[in-house]
Structure 1
Amino acid sequence: MLTLTDGAVQVIRTVTANPELPPETGIRIEPGVNGSDALRLSVAAAPEAGDQIVEEEGARVYLEPEVAQLLDDKTLDAQVDQQGEVEFTIAGGDAV
């Protein structure tokens, strides 16, 4: 199962902390568009049918089933640069 670093937990909790969002809001990772190898990450109000749910310290990640298999033994990390831009990485350095 995908694991989350402390940095990823902090960033996800910050991104989903908006009081106007439902309490089950998380980050969803799904395949990129047009069959690309890239993954697409978005804020999701709830998981979709079949999604694997990874929850750690209040941070929720919803994984599309195919992506869940791909990331089964990986670690998700996140960093915020000096301009406030967030970059998620998967253990091995692949940017999401």
Structure 2
Amino acid sequence: MLALTENVTEIVKKLSGEVPAISGLRIAAEPDGQSLSVSPADQAAPDDQVIEQDGATVYVDGPAAEMLDDKILDGGVDEEGNIQFALGQQA
């Protein structure tokens, strides 16, 4: 299962706290089967895997969950306020 770093949980909690319509982030596989999209979400889609960690919620669609099963999601906010995510291999 996808793991989340403390950085990501803080980003997700901050987003959900600032925008009431957002309950978490959703990661979905793109139609090409090679890339992923990350977007704010208000709820899980019917086949989403729900990851709840340290007060943060991330929804992952089925195809993305398979791609990310052994990964860890990290993130940060740059000086201009842009959120950036990175994937790494779980230890």
Per the normalisation by structure 2, the TM-score is 0.89
2:70 paired with 1:73? yes
Identity of aligned residues (%): 31
Q: Which residue of 2 aligns with 1:64?
A: 61
User: What does 1:10-89 align with in structure 2 at a 5 Å threshold?
Assistant: 10-18=10-18, 20-21=20-21, 25-32=23-30, 34-35=31-32, 37-89=34-86
| C-alpha distance in structure 1 between counterparts of 2:33 and 2:49, whole Å | 21
Q: How many residues align?
A: 89
| C-alpha distance in structure 2 between counterparts of 1:59 and 1:20, whole Å | 14
Structure 2: where are the runs of 5+ without partners?
A: none
- The structure-2 alpha-carbon separation of the partners of 1:91 and 1:18, relative to structure 1 and needing over 3 Å to count, comes to same
- The structure-2 alpha-carbon separation of the partners of 1:67 and 1:20, relative to structure 1 and needing over 3 Å to count, comes to same
Give the partner amino acid of 2:45: E
| C-alpha distance in structure 1 between counterparts of 2:19 and 2:61, whole Å | 25
| C-alpha distance in structure 2 between counterparts of 1:78 and 1:45, whole Å | 20
Cα deviation for residue 15 of structure 1 reads 1.3
Cα deviation for residue 19 of structure 1 reads 5.4
Secondary structure of the residue that 1:91 maps to in structure 2?
Answer: strand
Cα deviation for residue 38 of structure 1 reads 1.9
Structure 1: where are the runs of 5+ without partners?
A: none
Secondary structure of the residue that 1:88 maps to in structure 2?
Answer: strand
